[in-house]
Structure 1
Amino acid sequence: MWTDVKGKTVHDLDAFSAVYIGGGNTFRLLKSFIESHFIEVLKRYAESGGTIYGGSAGAVILGKNIMTCSYMDRNACGLRDFNGLKLLGDYAVWCHYKVEHDPLIKRYRNAFGTPVIALPEETGIAASTSDIRVIGTKPARIFKEDGAVFVSDQFVL
Structure 2
Amino acid sequence: MKKLIIASTSTVHGSDYLEYILPTLSTFFKKVNTILFIPFARPGGISYDEYTVIARNAFIKIDKKVKGIHEFENPIKALEEAEAIFTGGGNTFELVNQLYKNNIIDILKEVVENGTPYFGTSAGSNICGVTMMNTNDMPIIYPPSFKTLGFIPFNINAHYLDPIEGSTHMGETRETRIKEYHVFNTTSVLGLREGSWLAVNGSSITLKGNLTARLFQKDKIAVELETETEINSFF
TM-score with structure 2 length normalisation?
A: 0.60
Aligned position for 1:130: 203
Of residues 224, 228, 232, the one that matches 1:150 is 224
Structure 1: 5+ residue runs without aligned partners? none
Q: Is the CA contact 1:10–1:45 (under 8 Å) kept in the aligned structure 2?
A: no
Q: Distance in 2 between matches of 1:109 and 1:34?
A: 26
Aligned position for 2:11: none
Q: Is the CA contact 1:20–1:53 (under 8 Å) kept in the aligned structure 2?
A: yes
Determine what percentage of the aligned residue pairs are the same residue: 27
Q: Is the CA contact 1:92–1:116 (under 8 Å) kept in the aligned structure 2?
A: yes
1:67-146 matches, cutoff 5 A? 67-69=133-135, 72-89=136-153, 91-100=154-163, 101-145=174-218, 146=220
Deviating more after overlay: 145-154 vs 134-143: 145-154
Aligned position for 2:128: 62
Is 1:22 the counterpart of 2:88? The answer is yes
Relative contact order, higher structure (CA 8 A, sep 6+): 2
Of residues 21, 35, 47, the one that matches 2:101 is 35
By how many angstroms is 1:76 displaced? 2.1
Structure 2: 5+ residue runs without aligned partners? 1-66, 164-173
**Structure 1 residue matching 2:86: 3-state secondary structure:** strand
Q: Distance in 1 between matches of 2:139 and 2:115?
A: 32
Deviating more after overlay: 20-29 vs 103-112: 103-112
By how many angstroms is 1:102 displaced? 1.2
By how many angstroms is 1:12 displaced? 4.4
Distance of aligned partners of 1:21 and 1:155 in 2 relative to their CA distance in 1, 3 Å threshold: same
Q: Distance in 2 between matches of 1:60 and 1:6?
A: 26
Q: Is the CA contact 1:93–1:117 (under 8 Å) kept in the aligned structure 2?
A: yes
Quote the RMSD (CA, aligned, Å).
1.9
* Per-residue CA distance 1:104-131 (angstroms, 9 max, x = gap): 1121223221100110002000123323
Of residues 114, 122, 133, the one that matches 1:48 is 114
Q: Distance in 2 between matches of 1:143 and 1:134?
A: 15
Q: Distance in 2 between matches of 1:67 and 1:121?
A: 19
Q: Distance in 2 between matches of 1:37 and 1:6?
A: 13
**Structure 2 residue matching 1:79: 3-state secondary structure:** coil
Task: Name whichever structure is richer in strand by fraction.
Answer: 1
By how many angstroms is 1:9 displaced? 2.6
* Per-residue CA distance 1:65-111 (angstroms, 9 max, x = gap): 11211xx322222224101111102x011000012311111212232
Structure 1: which 4+ aligned runs deviate by more than 4 Å?
A: 10-13
- Higher Cα radius of gyration: 2
